[in-house]
Amino acid sequence: MVRRRMGVARTTSGILRASQHVLSPRGAGDDDRCADQSACAGIKPALKLKMAALRTALLVVALSLATTSAFSTYRLRIPNGLSVKGFGAVGHVNKVGGGQPTQFGIDFERGGGRWNAAICALDSDGDGATNGEELGDPCCEWRVGLPVRPNPTSPGHPDTFTAAELAEMKCTPSSTEAPAPLPEQRSATAFAPLSTDGSDAKDL
């Protein structure tokens, strides 16, 4: 999370430097030409105001783009992160992202910003369903690229579940689990002692 914030800061700083280069006066000569001209007195302050407004607008756009990129990266690290209906950011109190983090956001960051069994097994929002159950990974087996159950809910915003709904969300054995191997079948003569005089050769 810290690295992501540093990346956002670098991106914003780069765009701001570019805007200053584009919007700055052409050169010292321009100021010199207006030094003794009263007609330029009102133009220069107005130009500075416009430049300040444009810089502010560019900064807002840069922050918006950087924040959107950070949220998208965050959501790709959890199961169904892009599919929680009504929630653009399950890790923030504000459903669209930004501002105060939810308990899930805090837990996820403390866990290194990676989905794992420990984060999956928590019930961060205290609504009776684990984070994994809410995000469609009740067995805590999800890895990036693997399919998960549909219709996830937010692990950062408490829901009201019925007992039946909670039971339905629980981990169930996979239907594709390989069956246990059958006991090895041994022949009736596998352990029968052989005679030394060849009298049992007719039974081979």
CA 102 – CA 183 distance, rounded (Å): 52
Query: Is pLDDT larger for residue 152 or for residue 203?
Result: 152
Domain boundary assignment for the chain: 1-30+37-75, 80-173
Residue 135's nearest CA partner among 1, 123, 162, 113 is: 123
Residue 109's nearest CA partner among 91, 130, 86, 125 is: 91
Torsion sign, CA atoms 56, 59, 65, 67: negative
- Rounded to 5 degrees, φ, ψ at 101 are -80, 155
In the block, residue with structure tokens 């469609």? 136
Do residues 87 and 154 make contact, with C-beta atoms less than 8 angstroms apart? yes
CA 15 – CA 61 distance, rounded (Å): 10
pLDDT on residue 11: 52
Mean pLDDT of 35-51: 64
pLDDT on residue 49: 74
Highest mean pLDDT among 3-12, 14-23, 65-74, 160-169: 160-169
What's the pTM value of the predicted model, to 2 decimals?
0.54
Highest mean pLDDT among 56-70, 126-140, 186-200: 126-140
Q: And the tokens for 29?
A: 């000569």
Tens digits of per-residue pLDDT, 95-130? Answer: 888 889 999 999 999 999 999 999 999 999 999 999
